[in-house]
Structure 1
Amino acid sequence: MGNQEMVDLLIVMFCLFQLGDKFLFFDKGGSYSMLDVFTLRRIESLMNGYVHEKVPAQLRTMVKLTYEMKGNELILTEERPGLQRYQWDRMPIARFYWEGDQWQVFASDDCSSWNPVEVIVPCSDFEDVLEQVERDESGVFWRERD
């Protein structure tokens, strides 16, 4: 096995480094996270269920929700059919960022910049902040977009 193959193999595998009482996980894309594997899988399962239930089956050809996790960040996105056939236009909805043992929530503005959502207090429970995004009491997530 050559050096590059060995490096590729190591990147594909989860590499674990202990930093005090924290663990640093690298995924196959080279991103890292301070979240443990159990928590990452729990969030992934929660999000898979959420995006499946949020959009009724009969509407999934017109709109879908997707998410992407990279390192300490999860971005929830809405997709709709684009002008070109078989292409979907993506509109970011919410950004969840894990920092200092808490999830912080950001909303996308009309210029695709991320702004902190002041009414959602950072907390350690991802499900709690996702529920607050779903309720959208401030009207910054589920709004009509141009």
Structure 2
Amino acid sequence: MNHIAFALVFISLIVTVFAASAENAGIAITNPVINSTVPAGSNLTIEWTVLDANSSDIKFIRLMDGDSVALNTVIPNILENNNTILVNATRYTWAVPSNLTTRNDYVIAMLGDGPFATYSGYFSIVQETNNAGFICSKTNNTGLSS
């Protein structure tokens, strides 16, 4: 009887681990990083690593904001002409609109082949006058962007 109980616990643990790891778009977003700052009107390079070799396409990249339990969609799909991109591309350069409101609670959500999304950490978009091509900068301990 103990062997059966152990087997059931072991099987439920394995199922839980695989179910938890499958609840994303098969990627991990590596840029933008948490607490990074992006100037409105600049280019942001969104980067990711592939976690699931069976994932093939990114169908939507959404800009969202707000509390993590109730995110608001700011831009439903930032992909040009609503095209899909291959997961193996591992990066996408987005022209950040210059009219976005300065906030520190923006999130990128990426949706792929399945029903789940992968989310970035929170980052800021700020209004600035001097905008160039940009990969996120982290704020250092002095409070200045590096």
Task: Specify if TM > 0.5.
Answer: no
When Rg is computed on C-alpha atoms for both structures, the one with the higher figure is 2
Indicate the structure whose relative CO is greater, using CA pairs within 8 Å and at least 6 residues apart: 2
Q: TM-score, normalization: structure 1? A: 0.32
The structure carrying a bigger strand percent of its residues is 2
The structure carrying a bigger helix percent of its residues is 1
Q: TM-score, normalization: structure 2? A: 0.32
